[in-house]
Amino acid sequence: MTSQPAATNHTDAVDASPAQVRAVTRDHFGSGEVLGLEQVAAPRPGPGEVVVAVRAASVNPVDWHMMTGEPLVMRIEGGWRSPKNRRLGLDVAGVVTAVGEGVEHLSVGDEVFGAAEVGSFAEAVRVPADRLVRKPVGVTFEHAAAVPVAACTALQGLRDHGQLQPGQHVLVNGASGGVGTYAVQVAKHLGAQVTGVCSTRNVELVQSLGADHVVDYTDRDFTDHGVRYDVVLDNVGHQPLSHVKRCLTPTGALVLVSGPKGRVFGPLGHLLRSMASFAFGRQRVAPMFTQITAADLETCATLLASGALRSVVEASYPLDQIAAAMDHVGTGRTRGKVVVTP
């Protein structure tokens, strides 16, 4: 861990932020072209927060949805005609430059990674200190920035929602994407036998992450080849639920990370149908919504440091090419993760 002692925990004394920083902003919903880069007031930490000089941020599908304002149901919180918050970006890795009141475990100079509430597509961002942990030495900022949302989803999906046990057989649908590439590795770490589902071009990647078996979805349907799984972690949700049920063991669990996204309600319809479909019998469905916690970020940091977990970064874009980075993720074809660097 890299850690330099702070002079004090008091904000004024330790704030090394410039007056202004470059940040990605937008005034409308739309594709990448709505994004601009402008000078904004440098962030100052409130109580329980720190300011991080961003070295890398990663792009998740949720950022793309916040940018486009679709599914429309998201606008109930995010603003109906135009975005309530002009900023974007959750995942971040960087260096602490200012520490707010009450933050004991982080100091100026610490190299950290975690998730902002919003605004990590910038040169600096304010982050609640309980959503940050120290970055392991030897892990690059880009690889650390790729972790928070995707790896916490994989961890919580398999360990908590799937209750995956050593020796059990798990299938990861969408094994080559952000969540999937971490899920294959987390499942192996938990001692499971892992089958990954991806397309032909990603078979070698998924094998290299430790999958015991790979199903190429362009060639075979994973619900239709006679194997039963204790847990299915579904990052895609395109299969009929009756088909997924028949490839689960009699007490198996379907962890719903995602589903087909309608323009208005997104995956909510799939979620409701899945709850009805699993209402009777011993098989269960577990819809999930990822919570970023310091404990799970610490678990990820430990796995990264030991080599049990590695990030697959398909592309790194400079911050001024944020539109291209977002549109890349919007294709739904990302291999691992996309990051941006200021």
Ligand X SMILES: NC(=O)c1ccc[n+]([C@@H]2O[C@H](COP(=O)([O-])OP(=O)(O)OC[C@H]3O[C@@H](n4cnc5c(N)ncnc54)[C@H](OP(=O)(O)O)[C@@H]3O)[C@@H](O)[C@H]2O)c1
- The stretch among 41-49, 184-192, 194-202, 297-305 that binds ligand X (CB under 6 A) is 194-202
Beta carbon of residue 239, minimum distance to ligand X (angstroms, whole number): 8
- Assigned token pair, 332: 């739904």
Q: Residue 28, CB half-sphere, CA atoms under 13 Å: how many?
A: 5
Positive or negative, the CA dihedral 325, 328, 329, 333 is negative
Helix (H) / strand (E) element for 13: namely: helix 11-14
Helix (H) / strand (E) element for 253: namely: strand 248-256
> Nearer to ligand X by C-beta: 91 or 110?
91
Q: Is 292 in the site for ligand X (CB under 6 A)?
A: no
> Nearer to ligand X by C-beta: 40 or 149?
149
Beta carbon of residue 208, minimum distance to ligand X (angstroms, whole number): 14
Binding ligand X (rule: CB under 6 A), the pick from 74, 118, 236, 308 is: 236
Beta carbon of residue 285, minimum distance to ligand X (angstroms, whole number): 13
Please report, for the chain, how many H helices and E strands are present, in that order.
11, 15
> Nearer to ligand X by C-beta: 12 or 331?
331
Cβ neighbors of 81 (< 8 A, separation 6 or more) are none
Q: Is there a cis peptide before residue 71, judged by omega within 30 degrees of 0? A: yes
As a whole number of angstroms, the distance between CA 258 and CA 237 comes to: 6
Residue nearest to ligand X (CB): 177
Helix (H) / strand (E) element for 178: namely: helix 178-189
Q: Select from 297, 280, 204 the least CA-distant residue to 245.
A: 280
- The stretch among 6-14, 115-123, 161-169, 192-200 that binds ligand X (CB under 6 A) is 192-200
Binding ligand X (rule: CB under 6 A), the pick from 45, 136, 162, 180 is: 180
- The stretch among 59-67, 74-82, 107-115, 224-232 that binds ligand X (CB under 6 A) is 59-67
Q: Is 153 in the site for ligand X (CB under 6 A)?
A: yes
As a whole number of angstroms, the distance between CA 120 and CA 59 comes to: 10
> Nearer to ligand X by C-beta: 1 or 275?
275
- Assigned token pair, 54: 């961003």
Binding ligand X (rule: CB under 6 A), the pick from 145, 170, 198, 211 is: 198
> Nearer to ligand X by C-beta: 10 or 238?
238
Beta carbon of residue 67, minimum distance to ligand X (angstroms, whole number): 13
- The stretch among 57-65, 71-79, 86-94, 301-309 that binds ligand X (CB under 6 A) is 57-65
Beta carbon of residue 250, minimum distance to ligand X (angstroms, whole number): 25
Q: Is 195 in the site for ligand X (CB under 6 A)?
A: no
Binding ligand X (rule: CB under 6 A), the pick from 29, 141, 217, 278 is: 217
Could you count the other beta carbons within 10 Å of the beta carbon of residue 224?
A: 11
Residues binding ligand X: what is the number (CB under 6 A)?
31
> Nearer to ligand X by C-beta: 139 or 179?
179
Q: Is 177 in the site for ligand X (CB under 6 A)?
A: yes
As a whole number of angstroms, the distance between CA 203 and CA 236 comes to: 17
Q: Is 268 in the site for ligand X (CB under 6 A)?
A: no
In angstroms, what CA-CA distances link 247 with 34, 188, 217, 241, 242?
43, 20, 15, 10, 9
As a whole number of angstroms, the distance between CA 125 and CA 42 comes to: 8
Beta carbon of residue 249, minimum distance to ligand X (angstroms, whole number): 21
Q: Strands across the sheet with 284-287, in order?
A: 213-216, 193-198, 169-173, 229-234, 248-256, 284-287
Binding site for ligand X (CB under 6 A): 60-62, 149-150, 153, 173-174, 176-180, 197-199, 202, 217, 235-236, 238, 257-258, 288-290, 329, 332-335
